[in-house]
Amino acid sequence: MDPSPQPRRRMPLLGRRMLAAGVLTTAATLASARPPMPATVPVAMEDAHAGEAAVTIDNFTFAPPVITVAAGTRVVWTNRDDIPHTVVGTGDPRSLRSPPLDTDDRFAFTFAAPGTYRYFCSLHPHMQGTVVVR
């Protein structure tokens, strides 16, 4: 029995990276475990809305990608993805602008005037959609 200390063995680089990834994943999961924020609802029109239409955000897409509604319709986006997304209009000024939406967060906007309104996710610009108001 040799009382001298044994040399310390280092964890292989791949093992250290996997451990770090696990810690980051756990931290992200815990951070997203907070209760959902209330829906943000900017209203573009004061009178009663003509109805409501839904757009789902899932798998990095807006579904449906194009929606046609009557003027005065309130469109509600719901994020079903595991990561945040936004809804931002491409028009100027950008009156259509949501905060980052976490999983199950909702954002609503009432479209008062006829026209074609294009929007995208500012966090993932390849995500695009259109609201056609008649």
pLDDT tens for 52-101 read 999 999 999 999 999 999 999 999 999 999 999 999 999 877 789 999 99
Section 108-130 average pLDDT: 97
Phi/psi of residue 14, each to 5°?
-60, -40
Q: Of 107, 110, 98, which is closest to residue 46 (Cα–Cα)? A: 110
* Structure letter (DSSP) for residue 35: P
For the chain, the domains span: 51-133
> Is residue 88 a contact partner of residue 97, using CB atoms and an 8 Å limit?
yes
Report pLDDT digits (tens) over 15-40: 545 444 454 444 444 444 433 333 33
Q: Which CATH number fits domain 51-133: 3.40.50.11890, 2.60.40.420, 2.60.120.340, 3.60.110.10?
A: 2.60.40.420
Determine how many CB atoms are found less than 10 A away from the CB of residue 62: 22
Q: Let me know: does 62 contact 55? Beta carbons within 8 Å.
A: yes
